[in-house]
Structure 1
Amino acid sequence: MGELTSFLPKLLGAGILSAIAWLLATLAKTIITRVLGSFNLEEKLGEGNEQISVSQTIGNAIYWFIFLLFLPSILSTLQLEGTLVPVQGLLDQILAIIPNVLGASIIAAVGWVVAKIVQGVVSSLLATTPINQVGAKFGLSTEATGNSLSNIVGNVVKVLILIPVAITALDALQIQAISQPATEMLNQVLTLLPKLLAATLVLGLAYAGGQYLSDMISNVLSRVC
């Protein structure tokens, strides 16, 4: 009975800390979700699945992170030292990596914005040229949107920008188990791109040449007949 009585203040203290953690976590989640929701991130990022909400995901992550921050104090209040040590170690590792994650996130966000802007500029400039009419000969759309040649080139330019951005962001994480294989893969893709573009250009020229010869032969035969 004495042990139970002595444990009640600890349980009460842990309950108070849990309540404070819940209050702060709920408040932070609500504020962040509403603020991010006002920016219409789903529309700007082009999310096709309406069930996935970027603002809700970030809000939930902040919610549980605040609980994680309070967890060592709660366990310490309950004097659960055996559980406290690994939890504290995990929290220290998470806190140590947060600056890297923030840096990588900023790099990725800035790179994405720049890539989108450049994509729009390139697509718009090309749309003012006869390039979409050329693409129409290959079965592409003549409109400035959709599967037009100007839009395809714009997307290719965006990818070319995003690949080095992704490599830089992964390097900023400084997590070798993740960044090293991913960086090597992206470098291989970056090395392969010139060959792929050259092959695409050759195929395009071959197709255009074939179409030209086909039309010329058809005209000659129609005159003969």
Structure 2
Amino acid sequence: MRSQAQPLIETALQVQVPGFLQETIANIIAFIPAIIGAVIILLIGWILGRILGGITTRVLEKIGLSDHTRQTPLGSETDPDGGIASAVGTLVSYIVYFYAALAAADVLGIAILSESLSEIGAFLPVLFSAAIILIIGFIVGRKLGDIIADIVGGFRLTTYVQGTPLEGITTSAGGIGNATGKLVEYAVYFFTLLTAADTLGITALSQLLNDFAAFVPALIGGLLVLVVGVFVADALEDIVASVDASRLTTLAGLGVKLFVYYITITIALDTIGFSTAVLTTFFTAAVTALFGALGVALALAIAIGVGWGSKDYVAENIDDWMASARRSVSGLNEESSTRANSGLGEDTHTRSRDDFDSSDPTND
């Protein structure tokens, strides 16, 4: 009985289990070694990443990388994990993790995942190179800034800006030497960023930084004009004010300084590339209004001074002036009467003589 029933059972099972399901189960069974291999690769990659990242962090800490970058944008005064050294070690760990994932994807035979990870993997060396450029550039910028600060600070230029608008700026920056060192330091930072952007191949960022780089010489020129103009303005104020100790020369010196400040600011802004039409218009209007106001004030002062000062003089001499006027009028009247009387006598005498001549027969 059993021997006859067994073929029937096997036939029924073959009918009940479809062929595609059998194929799926077979594929899964065949895929298990690949899955196990991928898991093993990921585990090994994770272990290697942790080891290599830790080694990298310790090596960089030994050479003092965190100390060199502590006062740069890459450093941190309060980072308990080692600063930039820890960051680089973490980056190395994740790079190893990534390549382990890429190898696992190849073992699994997932084409889309392998292609995507391969494209990203081709970019990782570039990213690592950009990170190295940033670290080296920022360290060089910090060291070069300190050197320039020491050199410029040795000239003791801070004393020359006392009493000028630059005093507050340089004081807050720690003096002209430190301010110059900071400018050099950040200039190196900028060109480091420009180089890193070119390395990464980010076109938009590279174009933006290149445009700003073209603007830097004009900016430096404008700042130099501003500094020189401030020195010249203060020197001219001292020269004008030292002519004498009067308040007028002090005000004249202040006016000269303000005028030179205006010229300096206008030239500096024009050198940088800003439009100075507004400043020119404002200056013209201010000068016109100033001299107009001075002219009106001078005219009023003269009129008030003459009127107020001549009041007493007129009051004291008005009687004499009126008496003199009366005498002049009386004299004119007397002279007119005399002339009239003398004219009447001469006319009578002439008429009498004519009558006499006409009555004399010998005249015929």
Partner of 1:202: 229
2:160 aligns with 134
Equivalenced residues, count: 215
Residue 85 of structure 1: which of 109, 115, 126 is its match?
A: 115
Describe the superposition over 1:131-171 as per-residue Cα deviations: whole angstroms up to 9, x where unpaired: 1322444445999x951122112222334455455544544
Which piece of structure 1 moves more, 74-83 or 159-168?
A: 159-168
Change (3 A) 1:50 1:215: farther
TM-score calculated relative to the size of structure 2: 0.49
> C-alpha separation between the residues in 2 aligned to 1:13 and 1:148?
64
Give the AA of the match of 1:83.
L
**TM-score for both structures, normalised by structure 1:** 0.74
- In the alignment, what sits opposite 2:312? none
Query: Which moved further from structure 2: 149-158 or 116-125?
Result: 116-125
Deviation of residue 189 (structure 1)? 2.7
Give the distance between the partners of 1:93 and 1:8, measured in 2 at CA: 32
Q: Which amino acid aligns with 1:23?
A: I
Task: Indicate how the Cα distance of structure 1 residues 169 and 202 shifts in structure 2: closer, same or farther if over 3 A, else same.
Answer: farther
1:187 pairs with 2:211:
no
Q: Using CA pairs below 8 Å that are at least 6 residues apart, which structure has the higher relative contact order?
A: 1
Task: Pick the aligned partner of 1:16 from 35, 40, 49.
Answer: 40
Shift in alpha-carbon separation, 1:44–1:4, aligned structure 2, 3 A:
same
> Radius of gyration: which is bigger?
2
Question: What residue ranges of structure 1 are gaps of 5+ in the alignment?
Answer: none
In structure 1, the residue matched to 2:204 is 177
* Corresponding residue number in structure 1 for 2:351: none
List alignment gaps of at least 5 residues for structure 2.
1-24, 248-364
Residue among 58, 78, 82 paired with 1:50: 78
User: Quick one: structure 1 residues 186 and 117, their matched pair in 2 at CA, closer, same or farther if it must change by over 3 Å?
Assistant: same
Counterpart secondary structure, 2:109: coil
Structure 1 position 9, deviation (Å): 1.3
- Asked whether the equivalents of residues 111 and 165 of structure 1 are also in contact (C-alpha less than 8 Å), the reply is yes
Residues 38, 104 of structure 2: 8 Å contact kept: yes
Using the alignment, how far apart are the partners of 2:65 and 2:244 within structure 1? 54
Partner secondary structure for residue 188 of structure 1 = helix
Q: Alpha-carbon deviation of 1:204?
A: 4.8
Native 8 Å contact 1:135 1:148 kept in 2? no
1:135–1:141 contact (8 Å) kept in structure 2: no
Tell me the percent identity.
18
- Say if 1:161 and 1:9 are closer, same or farther in 2 by CA, change over 3 A: closer
Task: State yes or no: 1:68 paired with 2:87.
Answer: no
Q: CA deviation at 1:36?
A: 1.5
Q: 1:192 to 1:128 in 2, by over 3 A?
A: closer
- Answer yes or no: is 1:148 the counterpart of 2:175: yes
Q: Which residue of 2 aligns with 1:121?
A: 147
